[in-house]
Structure 1
Amino acid sequence: MTDYENMSRRELVALRANIDKAIATAGDRDKRNALRAAEEAARNHGFSLADLMPLMTQAKPRRGRPAEEGGAPRYRNPDNPDQTWSGRGRRPRWIHEAEAAGRPLEDLRAD
């Protein structure tokens, strides 16, 4: 077992570089193995991966709230009405700037 406490900074940096390279190599190997398994599964069903790729890009059904419920803008930037926020997710910069300027969030309601 390696005693990391007694290694120099240079040795630790070299070790980290070697570990990062080993992780990348292992990731590439895992991807190749996954690709081989996917090709075999497709072949077992009478297809190639190329046959199945168009299905991968088709629109998938949305989960969660319908767009009209969750995505409707609740807040609008009075300085630029094109900028809106649904109230979900990260607050946009213009919300932060308005609050920093002392403007309450209620003043930005899109109602």
Structure 2
Amino acid sequence: MQIELESLSREELTKLIADATKALKSVDTRRKAEAKLAAEKVAKEFGYSLDEILSAGGKTTKGAPKYANPADPTQTWTGRGRKPKWVVDALNAGKSVEDMEI
């Protein structure tokens, strides 16, 4: 498709840009839908849903707390990453990690 851009007026060029932008969004939406269907099909072949795959092992979720501060149960820790100060203090005081399990 060859368009002689030099022969178009400002209004025609503006309309062409708007139409092209709209068409590009439509193509992107359609391709994303096709990609999602393909990903769902592959996940299903492995016995999972796409949501299960996307939520597994991602760093987007904090995880469920496994430990709570006995002195302040609102302070929790998942058991991953750096130990909070209250965990270190409790361990130094002779408590075990099992003592703080929820």
Quickly name the TM-score band, shorter chain normalised: 0.5 to 0.7
Q: Which residue of 1 aligns with 2:23?
A: 22
Q: Which residue of 2 aligns with 1:2?
A: 3
Cα 1:5–1:56 change in 2 (3 A) is farther
User: Going by fraction, where is strand more abundant, 1 or 2?
Assistant: 1
Cα displacement (A) at 1:17? 0.1
Q: Secondary structure, in 3 states, of the residue corresponding to 1:57?
A: coil
Cα 1:19–1:45 change in 2 (3 A) is same
Q: Identity across aligned pairs (percent)?
A: 32
The structure with the largest alpha-carbon Rg is 2
Where do 5+ consecutive residues of structure 2 fail to align? 61-102
1:22-101 equivalences in 2 (<5 Å):
22-55=23-56, 57-58=58-59
Cα 1:3–1:42 change in 2 (3 A) is same
Where do 5+ consecutive residues of structure 1 fail to align? 60-111
Q: Output one character per residue of 1:85-107: Cα deviation in whole Å (capped at 9) or x when no partner.
A: xxxxxxxxxxxxxxxxxxxxxxx
Aligned length: 59
TM-score (structure 1 length as normaliser): 0.49
Moved over 2 A (4+): 56-59
TM-score (structure 2 length as normaliser): 0.53
Cα displacement (A) at 1:56? 5.5
> How much is the aligned-residue C-alpha RMSD, in angstroms?
1.5
Cα displacement (A) at 1:52? 1.4
